[in-house]
Amino acid sequence: MDVHKIAIIGAGLMGSGIAYVSAGNGFHVTLVDVNEQALEVGMDRIRNDVMTGVDKNKLSLSEAQALMGNLASTTNIANAVKEADLVI
């Protein structure tokens, strides 16, 4: 089975790191956490990693935009899992 959509449960250190790598490799990622505040912390960490990548010329601006475009976040674990090919 081909994997296109990944649901990652937990937007902490591990989850946001896995989301960054997965989205950067073209997967459509939905990050799940228990509330919006936890999701925002995780998304902020990813944005910072993306900007660091751009600053260090590891990512072009278009790659950074594509990576961010591959990311979504939700507190609705049921919907995220239902639509996912892979759950981490």
Ligand X SMILES: NC(=O)c1ccc[n+]([C@@H]2O[C@H](COP(=O)([O-])OP(=O)(O)OC[C@H]3O[C@@H](n4cnc5c(N)ncnc54)[C@H](O)[C@@H]3O)[C@@H](O)[C@H]2O)c1
Q: Which residues bind ligand X (CB under 6 A)?
A: 9-15, 32-34, 38, 77
Q: Closest distance between ligand X and the C-beta of residue 15, in Å?
A: 5
DSSP H helical ranges for the chain: 13-24, 36-55, 61-69, 77-82
Rounded-to-integer distance, Cα 86 and Cα 5, Å: 7
First to last CA, the chain: 16
Rounded-to-integer distance, Cα 23 and Cα 54, Å: 15
Q: Closest distance between ligand X and the C-beta of residue 62, in Å?
A: 29
* Minimal CB distance residue for ligand X: 12
Whichever of 9 and 54 has its CB closer to ligand X, that residue is: 9
Whichever of 37 and 57 has its CB closer to ligand X, that residue is: 37
Q: Closest distance between ligand X and the C-beta of residue 65, in Å?
A: 25
